[in-house]
Amino acid sequence: MKIIVALLSALLAACQAGAPAPQASAPALSACDMSENLLGNPGFASEGESGSRRPWSGSQHAGEPSFTTEVDDGVLTIEKIATQPWFKFSQAPRARPLRGEQLLFQAELKLALDTHEVIHGFKRGGGAQILIWGDPDPVMGGDRLMLESTLEHEPHLGQTDWFTVRIPVSVPATATRMNVGFVHQANGVMQVRNPGLYRCAP
């Protein structure tokens, strides 16, 4: 019996060691400095005749234009109108000054999305995305993707009213660049307002 118990204990320990670490929970808002938004132009305002919404920029999968963007009173609306699988609307805060920081990415979303006849291999839905690249070898150089959070929230499909998404971000100590924003990888319309990226206490 003792041998069986010992074997079971060893197996359990091995399973736990191989299990992925649980996703960090969002920090309490009281632990974050909500007075300083690290994102530029959170109201998606355009610049004069150019219509640029810098530092935000949009891009889509290669092919025919398949998404439209409109902004009304600080609300960004992204609508799929053709066949390409994804659209991204994001900006690139400077990563090096934020190395080792605990951050909170927050935004309000409203979705009217479905996956009817969507056949691409990307995660289906719409919502928040954070990508961080870093330099794993200061001698050899080069960077690689070290952190990715794409649609890691619920809901990210269906018909919703406005809801708030909060994504905790631990910036790697070797971070070199980051990309923060929103992706549309389904059919229909998604809306975004009040995006923010904030420093939080460890």
pLDDT over threshold 60, residue 4 = no
pLDDT over threshold 70, residue 5 = no
Q: What is the DSSP-derived secondary structure letter of residue 85? A: S
pLDDT over threshold 80, residue 20 = no
Report d(CA 52, CA 54) in Å as an integer: 6
Report d(CA 73, CA 107) in Å as an integer: 15
Query: What's the chain's average pLDDT?
Result: 86
% residues pLDDT > 70 (the chain):
86
By the 8 A CB rule, do 138 and 166 touch?
A: no
For the stretch 106-123, what's the b/e string if a residue is b when 16 or more beta carbons lie within 10 angstroms of its beta carbon?
bbebbbbbeeeeeeeeee
* 31-200 CATH choice from 3.40.920.10, 3.40.50.300, 2.60.120.260, 3.30.70.270: 2.60.120.260
User: Confidence class of residue 25 from pLDDT cuts 50, 70 and 90?
Assistant: low
Handedness of CA 188, 122, 76, 64 (dihedral sign): negative
User: Residue 10 has what pLDDT?
Assistant: 42
> What long-range pairs does 119-124 form, CB within 8 A, spacing at least 24?
120/85, 120/86, 120/185, 122/85, 122/86, 122/185, 123/150, 123/151, 123/185, 124/157, 124/185, 124/186
By the 8 A CB rule, do 87 and 132 touch?
A: no
pLDDT over threshold 60, residue 3 = no
Pick 53 or 71 by higher pLDDT: 71
- The domain limits of the chain are 31-200
Query: Which amino acid belongs to residue 97?
Result: P
Peptide bond into 168 cis (omega under 30): no
User: Residue 167 has what pLDDT?
Assistant: 97
